[in-house]
Structure 1
């Protein structure tokens, strides 16, 4: 994580320099604002990664002598037969299409989003106070 943090901090420095150069040279507010916001986002991510790297053990990516297999392992639990991502994807697609076509399409997207989100959150909840 140390390497990724440094990369984002250097990227933030680049965005800051480019925002200043672009603002002085082009005198165009939209591009200058976009570059300034990119600087802020890169700073936030870089600071988070650098701050977190001090509190966790060094990973395989921080060791120059590490192999690719050293970073292998379980990444998390992914539901193998869940239909909920399909409902969320359909609802999200309708919602973004509603921005392009008309806001009335949100009325059709909202049920898909709500049912998909509710189903995904409570997919493995069976009974009172039971997690699996």
Structure 2
């Protein structure tokens, strides 16, 4: 997890995941997370909608963008490596987090950083509005 302090400009790498404070932006990158880790980070710490937790836990999602009250979930595939194998990527962008999940270990994704989101909005969830690809 990376934390960017907006007041000092300092970026700190943390070994554990926590909620950012009011003046922080957080990046969370999970590679092959298990269901308990997804529930802890996405559900318990960042209070994302239960359908987002489910989508981050179950693999083989169709490419889609689901919009919730305070966050969005984007699922898509990228190809990597000499075999050009598809790898599922899920990104959550919300008021308190940007979470980046990759389905399988792929050297092409090591060191990738997801974008940042400002924490200053209140959190909560509503039913999704899907703008899905068929």
| Bigger-Rg structure (1/2) | 1
TM-score bracket, shorter-length normalisation: under 0.3
Q: Name the structure where helix makes up a greater proportion of residues.
A: 1
TM-score, structure 1 length as denominator? 0.18
Q: Name the structure where strand makes up a greater proportion of residues.
A: 2
TM-score, structure 2 length as denominator? 0.18
